[in-house]
Amino acid sequence: MEIFGKEIAVKSHGCNVMDEPGQRIAPSVNLFVKVTKGCNAHCKFCSNANSTDASSVFNIPKLITVIKELKGNGICINRINITGGEPSVVSPLVYKILDTVEENSFDDIHLHLNTNGLLPQSQEMMRHPRWDSISMSLHHYDVSKLSELYGCRIPEKAFDFEGIDLQKVNSSCNLVKGYIDNAEEAHKMLDFNLDLGIPRVGFVALMKVNDYCWEHFVDLEDIHLDSIPHVYFTKSMNRGSDCKCSNYLYNRDLKILEIYMRNYANPNYCESSLVYDGEYLRQGFHQDNIIY
């Protein structure tokens, strides 16, 4: 389909479920709104680890033009994902975007905290009532281990989450050698999320973007999730050789935790993913693919 006179790839079929082919759906995209490259953490496994750019120069009217162009061409926006860097380092900008989106009655606004929801400025942003859903990186159950991973001090009361609707939250746990790297540690993470009141958790293998990731890589298969008592496989979904994920449920004391695992992903796959960085709209996360 076309927007701004250029062809874009949209999702026209849902994911294959097990061996059943995906059903035809309305043309749809996910719109990622990258508000900054800056970050308040220094995670060694991150390709953005050394970025200090917290610039808030951002063309909000152009974002609204992009959204209206998509809708005007009959393209469904599954979610508007506010991401970074770390969005909370440019909180005033994020709040301006939320106010503008609210004025234009756009739905399905998602916050993606690329570092964590454990610092005061992150939790303040999570309390904003406009979010329909929130993704939060949470790579360990121990504050000292998290401080090591993030390269910044995590306060002892980081897990209080006062005033935050945790039913909107899903946590994402990177598998890192020496941290969460086996079934026993994964089991502790499941219990930890369940005790916090977070209803969904995802386990993710590191992207091999630097030496640290190569040296600390843990394969999802090494976790043996189905060996954990009361973990039950529910389904797998895929888009052929481009990506595959598996879903499980964990049941403890009549409490249910949803589990998501990304089995594999082609980093060049960008069908239906549009990225707006405040200046340009691109297909996928590649710098040379400017649409508008």
At residue 56, the pLDDT reads 58
* pLDDT (mean) for 109-129: 86
Over 60: is that where the pLDDT of 119 sits?
Answer: yes
At residue 265, the pLDDT reads 77
How large a percentage of the chain has pLDDT more than 70?
Answer: 96
Please state the separation of Cα 285 from the chain's center in Å.
14
Identify the band that residue 233 occupies on the pLDDT scale cut at 50, 70 and 90: very high
Domain architecture of the chain: domains with CATH: 30-283 (3.20.20.70)
Please state the separation of Cα 64 from the chain's center in Å.
22
Q: Residues 273, 221, 15, CA angle at the centre, nearest 5°?
A: 30
Over 90: is that where the pLDDT of 215 sits?
Answer: yes
pTM listed for this prediction: 0.90
Over 80: is that where the pLDDT of 48 sits?
Answer: no
* pLDDT (mean) for 234-250: 91
For the stretch 153-193, pLDDT in tens is 888 888 889 999 999 999 999 999 999 999 999 999 999 99
* pLDDT (mean) for 208-236: 93
DSSP conformational letter for 154: P
Over 60: is that where the pLDDT of 49 sits?
Answer: no
Residue with the two structure tokens 């294959």 = 16
* pLDDT (mean) for 75-97: 92
Over 60: is that where the pLDDT of 137 sits?
Answer: yes
At residue 40, the pLDDT reads 82
Identify the band that residue 116 occupies on the pLDDT scale cut at 50, 70 and 90: low
Beta strands in 138-199 (DSSP E): 169-175
Q: What is the mean pLDDT of the chain?
A: 89
- Please tell me the distance from the alpha carbon of residue 231 to that of residue 187, in angstroms, as a whole number: 9
Over 80: is that where the pLDDT of 267 sits?
Answer: no
Highest mean pLDDT among 121-125, 240-244, 250-254: 250-254
Q: H or E segment at 137?
A: strand 133-137
At residue 50, the pLDDT reads 55
Amino acid at 273: S
Highest mean pLDDT among 33-37, 111-115, 268-272: 33-37
Over 70: is that where the pLDDT of 61 sits?
Answer: yes
Residue with the two structure tokens 């964590």 = 116
Please state the separation of Cα 194 from the chain's center in Å.
19
Question: Nearest to residue 194, comparing CAs of 136, 141, 115, 132?
Answer: 141
Q: CB under 8 Å to 72, separation ≥6 — which residues?
A: none
* pLDDT (mean) for 7-27: 88
* pLDDT (mean) for 107-123: 83
The angle, 0 to 180 degrees and rounded to 10, between the axes of the packed helices 91-103 and 60-72 is: 40
How large a percentage of the chain has pLDDT more than 90?
Answer: 60
- Please tell me the distance from the alpha carbon of residue 265 to that of residue 65, in angstroms, as a whole number: 31
- Please tell me the distance from the alpha carbon of residue 16 to that of residue 108, in angstroms, as a whole number: 23
Least confident of 123-127, 141-145, 241-245, 258-262: 241-245
* pLDDT (mean) for 141-161: 87
Partner residues linked to 276 by β-bridges: 33, 281
